[in-house]
Structure 1
Amino acid sequence: MIRGLYEAHLPVSDLKRSIEFYKGLGLEFSHSHEDRLAFLWVEKDKSWVGLWETDKVELEYHPSIRHIAFQVSLEGLKNSVVWLNEKGYRPREAFGFEPVEPFVMAHNGMAHAKIHFNDPDGNSLEFICKLENPKNITNRMYLSEWEKLNND
């Protein structure tokens, strides 16, 4: 029955600023409603993010709310720290990893590489891609360490 995720929503304090931020990430503006809500396509005609202008943005962050992970290619992820910095978006520490490069979290035969950053209102964003894990590694490590272990 479920085929994927169609939409997710985030609170923002300045809708116009946030639209520009998300367009800078490569999302395509779709439409807005009453100058308080805007939708941007993650994948055109497949999934989008809704941005709601509100004065309730100060709601304390928790990963169960105010967080979106965008799927990217491995090559895109490898370039993500430089790409984000060039756009003025700062990667941030997550799970004890400094934002010098993406890191890998592996468990139960699965692995994902990721980097975290925030939007202007402190909403947590992430670039992530799935990795093959043929050696069934379960440690967390930087992506460069992961690649070295898997290329030996």
Structure 2
Amino acid sequence: MIRGLYEAHLPVSNLKLSIEFYEGLGLQLDHKVEDNLAFLWIEKDKSWLGLWETEKVEVDYHPSLRHIAFQVSLADLKSSVAWLKDRGYAPREAFGFLPVEPFVMPHGEYAHAKIHFNDPDGNSLEFISKLENSKKIKNRMYLSEWEQINECRSENSK
């Protein structure tokens, strides 16, 4: 029945500024509805983001509200801190990790590497990449530490 996520929506205080921000992330504007709603493709013809201009952006943040995670390749994630900074966007601390590089959160057989940042209205965004966790690592850590542990373990297993 369900094959994926087609759309997600966020409140914004300035639609024009927000369209520019999300286009800067690589999303493509598809269309606007009246003067207060725009749809941008995350992945063309597969998933999009709806931006709603409203005065009610000041809703307190909670991950169940105002949060979007964009799937990216691991190679892109590794360069994401510099990529964001080059565009004037600031990565932010999340789960106790400073925004110096992506960090990893393991979940049994798999893990997620991620970096968090905000849009101009404080909506929480992240770039995320799924990783295998064949070594059953349980601790959260920076991606460079994760790769070092996995490289050492794979060298020792030869």
* 2:11 alignment partner in structure 1: 11
What SS class does the counterpart of residue 81 from structure 1 fall into?
A: helix
* Cα distance, 1:108 vs structure 2: 1.7
| Cα distance in 2, alignment partners of residues 39 and 78 from structure 1 | 28
* Cα distance, 1:14 vs structure 2: 0.1
AA aligned opposite 1:29 = L
Q: What is the RMSD computed on CA atoms of the aligned residues? A: 0.4
| Cα distance in 1, alignment partners of residues 67 and 107 from structure 2 | 21
> Structure 1 regions of 5+ residues with no counterpart?
none
| Cα distance in 1, alignment partners of residues 52 and 9 from structure 2 | 7
The answer to whether structure 1 residue 99 and structure 2 residue 104 are counterparts is no
What SS class does the counterpart of residue 84 from structure 1 fall into?
A: helix
Q: Which runs of 4+ in 1 moved over 2 A?
A: none
AA aligned opposite 2:25 = L
Q: Deviations along 1:63-94, whole A, 9 cap, x unmatched?
A: 00100000000000000000000000000000
Correspondence 1:9-88 to 2 at 5 A:
9-88=9-88
Pairs aligned (count):
152
% of aligned pairs identical? 76
* 1:146 alignment partner in structure 2: 146
| Cα distance in 2, alignment partners of residues 65 and 122 from structure 1 | 11
Q: Deviations along 1:97-133, whole A, 9 cap, x unmatched?
A: 0000000000222100000000000000000000011
Higher gyration radius (CA): 2
What SS class does the counterpart of residue 61 from structure 1 fall into?
A: coil
What SS class does the counterpart of residue 114 from structure 1 fall into?
A: strand
What SS class does the counterpart of residue 4 from structure 2 fall into?
A: coil
Q: Calculate the TM-score normalised by the size of structure 2.
A: 0.96
| Cα distance in 1, alignment partners of residues 84 and 134 from structure 2 | 30
Q: Calculate the TM-score normalised by the size of structure 1.
A: 0.99
| Cα distance in 2, alignment partners of residues 26 and 39 from structure 1 | 13
